[in-house]
Structure 1
Amino acid sequence: MKTLLITENFPPKSGGSGRWFWELYSRLPHAEYSVLAGEWKDSDLFDTDSALSISRYTLSSSEWGFISLTGAFFYLKTVLLIRRQIKQQKITRLHCGRVLPEGVMAWILNIFTGIPYSCYVHGEDLETAASSREQNFLCKQVIKRATKIICNSQNSANLVAKFGEAASRKAIVFHPGVDSSQFVPAEPNVEIRARLNWLDKKVVLTVGRLQARKGQDMMIRALPAVKKDIPNILYAVVGDGDCLTMLQNLAAELGVEDNVQFLREITDQQMIQCYQQCDLFILPNRTIGNDIEGFGMVLVEAQSCGKPVIAGDSGGTSETLIEGQTGFIIDATREHNIVATVVELLTDNQKLKDMGDKGRAHILQNLDWKALVLKAKALFR
């Protein structure tokens, strides 16, 4: 039996779901799993260093529905490509990175060939599709014929349940994990902190795309009040995205531009060093329209590095931590909640350490890839 994972999002493209798929499927038996992934810059270099069989194709489109000629042609050419991959590799089942568009491709193939498929759900994908009558219809059809619906959180499974009892029975919660041997705690390092311009700073870190739902703007809005208690506060923002200019302008308007640092392009190793050397991690996420945070892998990575975390009460973030022990879930749409929680933690070094230690233990016990791979093997049988 051989499985083909179809996913547009896959390294070297950055992003939580793509990294999740890489971390999981690279640990599964290579003779039993292969990947058809989207084409990105430096894909060839990435694939050369991988023992996992990876094929590349353009899996992105401006249209995910059938009504437009663009969408119809996109599905036609990708379905034909996948059909060739199935024959060449003797594929017996498909895994789909999302309901749209990858799940639709598998749904079409299932109708005409009978090949079974399972589909991943991340939360924001179903919420976004709900705003389109056509896309919502396609989601229903994909879920209806799928063997399993693999949900990154209970919150995502609850969204699947809205499609009916039969859909709910197929939903299986499988949390993303972390490589705890790579994301490890480290003592404060003067050389690294100097390189990052973090010496003598109390550093609050966010890692993630610069997009509205991540809530980086709310942490920036909280900085003037935080500065009153912690004058040496620094908010380090790792990531890039459409909101960069807005965030830079906001920091300038509030007079905290010297307290905000944007780190747009860093290596994976440098990102880990940021986790290790910061004092506190925050993901002040919120729901924007139909856009939600499905899980929050960065919260898992931060805890693996022994850091307390603060997250917004939207989506599946509460499933990443132990409330009050490894971090806090707050209403991050209210500035005063951020101020109070950040100040409480950064003014209590013992609490920072205790919560960080508990966070590391939580990850080792519940969200380390070693245990999750065993669960995946049983799930995928």
Structure 2
Amino acid sequence: MSRTLIVTNDFPPRQGGIETFVHAMATRFPHDAVVVYTSSEPGAPAHDAALPFPVIRDPAPMLLPTPRITSRAAALARRYACDSVWFGAAAPLGLMAARLRRETGVARIVATTHGHEVWWARTPGARSLLRRIGAATDAVTYLGASTRVPIAAAIGPAAAGRMARLVPGVDSEAFRPGLDGRAVRERYGLAGRRVILCAARLVPRKGQDTLIRALTQIRRRVPDAVVLLVGGGPYEPRLRRLVTAEALDEGVVFAGAQPHWTLPAFYVAADVFAMPCRTRRRGLEVEGLGIVFLEAAAAGLPVLVGDSGGAPDTVRDGETGHVIDGRSPDAVAERLIALLTNPEAARAMGEKGRAWVAEEWGWDRSYERLAQLLARDP
């Protein structure tokens, strides 16, 4: 029987786009065909006990490709008779690939890239490490053309020739219009208001500051507009200071980090979704894709997408939403005002977005692609 060892730092109960990706893939394997090796996390025992496959937690809060962790990964591959390995994020754990193959004889090793590997690809020392990962694996996956180009250049022609596209998906049954969002609106005082939702970690790349700066203009035309920020992160204190400086204390709601399973109710409580992400640090920090854009579209919302990395791949510009300059409050305000003052047009965009996501962005399709890449004869 074929079995895959998933090695990852990105696994629930930690929250984030990569965590959602890896968890969705893991739960689609036959239950006796997958084992997860991951880092420790508060709340993990209760979470893992509900899963139908083994999850082995290392004591460390973060897995790194050290000799100890590599030895343990190899021991798990042997213990569970794994014949393939999937690194949920290629860098840095993919650096274990050569030793794992040598010591366990696994037939296939696949490493998945997201957005942060672009930094590796464009930084001299890290670039050479990424090339080692490419050389030691059977396939390096990419999200879209914007991330493939720099990563392919870094890993070299041979490994680039083995690259394959692997994108996340959306559960369009869980994320859909028609759910009851009244509890969210009541909890955060949103009844009767026009809600702009942004669900993302509070970090500079996501562009919540641009959204806050745009809100002053938006409220001149749409006085009841409010920004609902779902997520936590190190940028929160600065964002709160910005809200106070812009005199928007009644216009911005910080909902904090929320479990992923609660997000559908937040989407249906909103009128539009906006995350004006932007590329930072001279191209080293980009948005890999953005599952939240797809979830919002599945829930029937028009989406406003920042022009960073692969984020524009999540929208049909002008049809299911808009791609905007994530550094421009004026551009963000203009598009959001148009959507909030024309509900019929916004609703039509949301309907087209849902249809597109349901057709093109299903989790089952993504899992089938991963299973092909992990097979002995892909």
- Separation in 1, partners of 2:250, 2:185: 16
Q: Partner of 1:298 in structure 2? A: 292
For structure 1, the 5+ residue unaligned runs are: 65-73
1:355 and 2:346 matched:
no
8 Å contact kept, 2:199–2:229: yes
TM-score, normalised relative to structure 1: 0.92
Q: Give, in angstroms, the shift of residue 166 of structure 1.
A: 1.8
Measure, in 2, the Cα distance between the counterparts of 1:123 and 1:143. Answer: 16
SS in 1 for 2:210: helix
CA–CA distance in structure 1, aligned partners of residues 69 and 181 of structure 2? 49
Distance 1:358 1:371 in 2: 20
Q: Quote the offset at 1:302 in angstroms.
A: 0.4
Q: Distance in 2 between matches of 1:29 and 1:203?
A: 40
1:380 to 371, 374, 378: 374
Q: Is the deviation greater in 173-182 or in 151-160?
A: 151-160
**Contact 1:214–1:284, Cα closer than 8 Å, also in 2:** yes
Amino acid at match of 2:192: D
Number of aligned pairs? 370
Q: Deviations over 1:186-243 (max 9, x none)?
A: 2675454222311111100000110010000000011111111011110000000000
Match of 1:210 in 2: 202
Q: Report deviation, 1:92.
A: 1.4
| Structural mapping, 1:137-216, within 5 Å | 137-163=128-154, 164-186=156-178, 189-216=181-208
Distance across 1 between alignment mates of 2:309 and 2:93: 22
Match of 1:311 among 278, 295, 305: 305
1:258 and 2:250 aligned: yes
The 1-side partners of 2:298 and 2:322 are apart by 16
SS of the residue 1:170 aligns to = coil
Q: Secondary structure, in 3 states, of the residue corresponding to 1:318? A: helix
* Structure 2, unpaired ranges of 5+: none
1:46-61 maps to which residues of 2 (within 5 A)?
A: 46-58=47-59, 60=61
CA distance in 1, matches of 2:153, 2:269: 42
Deviations 1:5-26 (CA, angstroms, capped at 9, x unpaired): 1001100001111111111120
Per the alignment, residue 286 of structure 1 pairs with 278
- Sort the Cα spacing of 1:198 and 1:269 in 2 relative to 1 into closer, same or farther, 3 A: farther
Query: Does the 8 A contact of 2:170 with 2:294 survive in 1?
Result: yes
In structure 2, relative to structure 1, the CA distance for the partners of 1:294 and 1:279 (3 Å cut) is same
2: CA distance, partners of 1:271 / 1:226: 25
Partner SS state of residue 35, structure 2: strand
Tell me: CA distance 1:122–1:268, structure 2 relative to 1, closer, same or farther (3 Å): closer
Aligned sequence identity (%): 26
More deviation, 362-371/163-172:
163-172
SS of residue paired to 1:307: coil
Shift in Å at residue 317 of structure 1?
A: 0.8
Deviation for aligned residue 1:2: 1.7
Tell me the CA shift for residue 60 of structure 1.
Answer: 4.9
Residues 160 and 167 in structure 1, CA contact (< 8 A), matched pair in contact too: no
In 2: Cα distance, 1:130 partner to 1:376 partner: 23
Secondary structure at the counterpart of residue 162 of structure 1:
helix
Which residue number in structure 2 is paired with residue 277 of structure 1? 269
Aligned to 1:37: 38
C-alpha separation in 1, matches of 2:275 and 2:257 = 19
Which residue is equivalent to 1:97?
Answer: 88
Aligned partners of 2:208 and 2:98: how far apart in 1? 37
Q: Is the 8 A contact 2:15 2:260 kept in 1?
A: no
Residue 76 (structure 2) aligns with: 85
Q: What's the counterpart of residue 119 of structure 1?
A: 111
Distance 1:254 1:293, change over 3 A: same
- Offset from partner CA, 1:92-146 (integer Å, 9 cap, x none): 121112222210122332355553411000022x223246543221111111221
Gap change, CA 1:105 and 1:59, over 3 Å in 2: farther
Residue 155 (structure 1) shift: 2.1
Q: Which amino acid aligns with 1:100?
A: A
Any conservation in 2 of the 1:8–1:59 contact (CA below 8 Å)? no
Q: Deviations over 1:343-378 (max 9, x none)?
A: 011110101110010111011100122333333333
- Distance in 2, matches of 1:151 and 1:269, equals 26
- CA apart distance, 1:59: 5.4
Partner of 1:10: 11
Partners of 2:242 and 2:152 lie apart in 1 by: 39
The answer to whether the 8 Å contact 1:59/1:78 transfers is: no
* SS of equivalent to 2:161: helix
Letter in 2 for 1:250: L
Any conservation in 1 of the 2:110–2:374 contact (CA below 8 Å)? no
